[in-house]
Structure 1
Amino acid sequence: MKAIVTGANGTVGSRLCEFLRRQGAEVVSWDRSAVPVDDYWAMENFVRSVAPDVLFHLATASRPTGRPNESWLINYEWTSELAWITRQLGARFVFSSTAMVFSDHAPGPFTLDSEPEAPEGYGYEKRRAEERAFQQNPEARVVRLAWQIDDEPTGNNMVASLEAQMREKGRVEASTRWLPACAFLDDTVRALLALAWAEPGLYMLDANERWSYYDIVRALNERHGGRWQVEPTEHFVFDQRMIDDRVVLPSLKTRLPGLP
């Protein structure tokens, strides 16, 4: 198998590339400095030259270069072009979206029938990109990802966030009334590869069955030797869980036996 991965240096992308290579796949990372994302013909020629079986589009505008409307370009326009190119060239297209397509005011837990309504920012751009991906390529697989959990305190994952809170505040405030969408990173990348060969459509990856952010942080603290001072709060009330019975990730309880 040959795969192109955008966002290959990111939290999910870097781990996906590692996993794909362990499975024997040939992985080509998208270098935006070599293949500009605002040049359609350069993009099509690149994808054509690689001739991938699947293109995993995981990139976000995490490293701004100062271009006007760069976030919209990366999150929406690039997605649109890649969906079209993969359709024309017969490659599978897997686009990573986010639980943030639902605003903090939406009533969760969310199912496939829940209507995304994020009114602005990253969540808005991603929900619009979901729509566009299917318009451009009805065979697309669009996958809403949860907040990733990993033992390494790097990148955009929960443990990195907890470490940052400890450095900045000397404590971790964790709401007992927030049920976050979250999953372990290694489980997410395994599911992404499997979904590349699933039926086209929308999928949601979330391993949180019923636990609050406070429950999860306490269990992670136990796993990491109790190095954080965890304080319960009720300051954020939100059920962000995503329910998709077609995709069963290992339960958080499996990964975090310390959960109640």
Structure 2
Amino acid sequence: MKAIITGNNGAVAPYVNRELKSKNIEVTVWNRELVGINNEEEVYRFIEETNPDIFFHIATGPIEWLEYIARATKKLGIKLVFTSTVSVFSEDKTGPYKPDSSPDTVSSYGVYKILCEKLMKQIYPEAYILRLGWQIGSETGSNNMFDFLCRSQRDNSYIEASSQWYPSCSFLEETAETIVDLALNHKFDTYLLNSNRSYSFYDIVQYLKRLHRQDWKVIETNALVRDDRMFDNRVTLKPLDFS
């Protein structure tokens, strides 16, 4: 089995890449320096020549790139997996969210992802859409929660964490396992991926402080009062457990 993956310089894709290889799936990484994203013929030719069984589109890029990928994979009969985000839900409302919850954000990133989802459903209705929460890594240098906390401590000498905010989040390794499992073993649909069942952001920050033995100064606040958790009974993602 073969796969193409985009976004390998980001937070999630490298973990998906490793998970695929652990299952003896041959992975081709889309290198934008070698393969353009603005020419539909070039996109189609690369996908056709690589001839993957599954295409994982994890990168952020022009919506036209996704359009070209969706058309090509649909025509060639290649399974397409697209990673979206919990940010499709409005910051002015509160969850928890379920598979039938309607995306309604006005934030630029969330609107971009909503447009991508709509485009996918229009061009390739059989594609997989996976909405991810905030990813928890163990290193700095990428867009993950641990990196954010380290930067907050460095820049401010403290971290503010609301005990009234319940975010959707999961560890990168477990997210990658679930993404691959859904693509290989489940029917196409829109899925919600979240490991957080009951913890506030403050709880999570305190746990990561202990886990990584960080000398963080964590200040509990109630500045953000919201529930951003996503629940999807079809997804087997290991719950966070700090006990």
CA distance in 2, matches of 1:84, 1:239: 36
Q: Shift in Å at residue 154 of structure 1?
A: 2.8
Q: Which runs of 5+ in 2 are unaligned?
A: none
TM superposition shift of 1:135: 1.0
Q: Give the root-mean-square deviation of aligned CA atoms.
A: 1.1
Matched AA of 1:177: Q
- 1:204 is aligned to 192
- The total of aligned residue pairs comes to 242
Q: What is the deviation of 1:206?
A: 0.3
Separation (CA, whole Å) in 2 of partners of 1:165 and 1:208: 22
Distance 1:242 1:120 in 2: 18
Provide Cα deviations, 1:72-105, integer angstroms capped at 9, x if missing partner: x2xx222222112111001100000000001211
Report the counterpart of residue 17 of structure 1 in structure 2: 17
Deviations 1:123-166 (A, max 9, x none): 00101111110111111000001101122223111111110001
| Aligned residues with identical type, % of pairs | 38
Matched to 1:15, the amino acid is Y
Residue 97 of structure 2 corresponds to residue 127 of structure 1: no
Structure 1 residue identity aligned to 2:160: E
TM-superposition CA deviations, 1:35-65 (whole Å, max 9, x none)? 211100000000000000000000014xxxx
Counterpart check, 1:238 vs 2:223: no
- What's the CA shift for 1:107? 2.3
- Matching residue within 139, 148, 153 for 1:152: 139
Structure-2 separation of matches of 1:150 and 1:144: 18
Question: Secondary structure at the residue paired with 1:45?
Answer: helix
Question: Does the alignment pair 1:247 with 2:235?
Answer: yes
Structure-1-length-normalised TM-score: 0.90
> Cα distance, 1:176 vs. partner?
0.7
Q: Which residue of 2 aligns with 1:181?
A: 168
CA shift, 1:226, in A, is 4.0
- Residues of 2 paired with 1:58 and 1:212: CA distance? 27
Q: Which runs of 4+ in 1 moved over 4 A?
A: none
Q: Distance in 2 between matches of 1:229 and 1:141?
A: 41
Corresponding residue for 1:80? Answer: 67
C-alpha spacing 1:226/1:10, structure 2 compared with 1 (3 Å): closer
The alignment's TM-score, normalised by the length of structure 2, stands at 0.96
Match of residue 220 from structure 1:
208
* Code of the aligned partner of 1:37: I
Residue in 2 that maps onto 1:7: 7
Give the Cα separation in 2 of the matches to 1:144 and 1:77: 20
Instruction: Report the AA paired with residue 21 of structure 1.
Output: K
**1:68: which partner in 2?**
none
| Alignment correspondent of 2:105 | 118
Pair 1:136-2:123 in alignment: yes
Say which SS state the counterpart of residue 149 (structure 2) adopts. helix
Aligned counterpart for 2:149 among listed residues 138, 141, 162: 162
Q: CA deviation at 1:229?
A: 1.0
Separation in 2, partners of 1:77, 1:168: 37
Verify: 1:54 aligned to 2:54, yes or no.
Answer: yes
Distance, in Å, in 2 between the alignment partners of 1:17 and 1:247 is 20
> Shift of the alpha carbon at 1:16?
1.2
**Unpaired segments ≥5 residues, structure 1:** 62-72
Residue by residue, what CA displacement relative to the aligned partner does 1:186-216 show, whole Å, maximum 9, x if unpaired?
Answer: 0000011111131111001000101100011
